[in-house]
Amino acid sequence: MVKKWSAEIYKAVFTHIILIGCPTIFFYCFRLSEWKLIGLHLTLALVYLLGAFMLLLESSSAVFRRFATDRHESKLKSGMFNQLSYSIKSSLGIAGARHPIPKRSVPRCSLLIPAYLPNEQTIILETIEHILLKVHRPLAGLEVILAYNTPINLPIEDDLHALAQLYPDLRLLRVEGSCSKAENLNAAFEIVTGEIICILDADHHPAPDCFDRAWHWFEQGYDVVQGRSIIRNHDQNFLTQLIAIEFEMMYGVAHAAKSFLTNSSIFAGSNGYWCTSVLKQIRFNPAMLTEDIDASMRTLLNGYRIVHDRSIISTELAPVDIRSFWFQRKRWAQGWFEVGLNYQHRVWQSDQFNLWQKVFWTYLLCYCEFYSLVAIQTIPLMLSLPLYESSIPSEINQFLWFSTILSFFGGIYQTLVTAKIAYVRYPILYYIQYVLLLIPYITFKNVIAIVGIFDHLQGNNDWFVTARNRQHSYSSILQKAVLPTSGGIKER
- CA 415 from centre of chain: 17
Ordered alpha helix ranges (H), 135-251: 155-166, 181-188, 210-219, 238-247
Inter-residue contact 214 to 313 (CB < 8 Å): no
The closest of 166, 271, 281, 167 to 214, measured between CA atoms, is 271
Helix (H, G, I), strand (E, B) or coil at 111: strand
CA atoms within 13 A on the CB side of 37: 25
Cα dihedral 51→56→58→63 (10° resolution): 160
Triad 355, 356, 359: Cα angle to 5° = 90
Q: What is the DSSP letter of 68?
A: -
Does the predicted TM-score (pTM) go above 0.85?
Answer: yes
Mapping DSSP to helix (H, G, I), strand (E, B) and coil, where does residue 403 land?
helix
Alpha-carbon distance values, 419 to 57, 227, 318 (Å): 17, 19, 19
**Segments making up each domain of the chain, as ranges:** 2-64+368-457, 83-321
Q: What fold does the segment set 83-321 form as a domain?
A: Spore Coat Polysaccharide Biosynthesis Protein SpsA; Chain A (3.90.550)
From first to last of its 492 residues, the chain has per-residue pLDDT tens of: 667 888 899 899 999 889 888 888 888 787 777 777 777 878 888 888 888 888 899 998 887 755 544 333 444 455 666 666 666 655 555 555 444 456 779 999 999 999 999 999 999 999 999 999 999 999 999 999 999 999 999 999 999 999 999 999 999 999 999 999 999 999 999 999 999 999 999 999 999 999 999 998 999 899 999 999 999 999 999 999 999 999 999 999 999 999 988 889 999 999 999 999 999 999 999 999 999 999 999 999 999 999 999 999 999 999 999 999 999 999 999 999 999 999 999 999 999 999 999 998 998 888 887 888 888 887 887 777 776 666 666 666 677 778 778 888 889 999 999 999 899 999 999 999 999 999 899 999 999 999 999 999 888 887 777 766 665 666 677 666 544 443 343 333
Rounded to whole angstroms, the Cα distance separating 341 from 412 reads 32
Cα distance between residue 440 and residue 435, in whole Å: 10
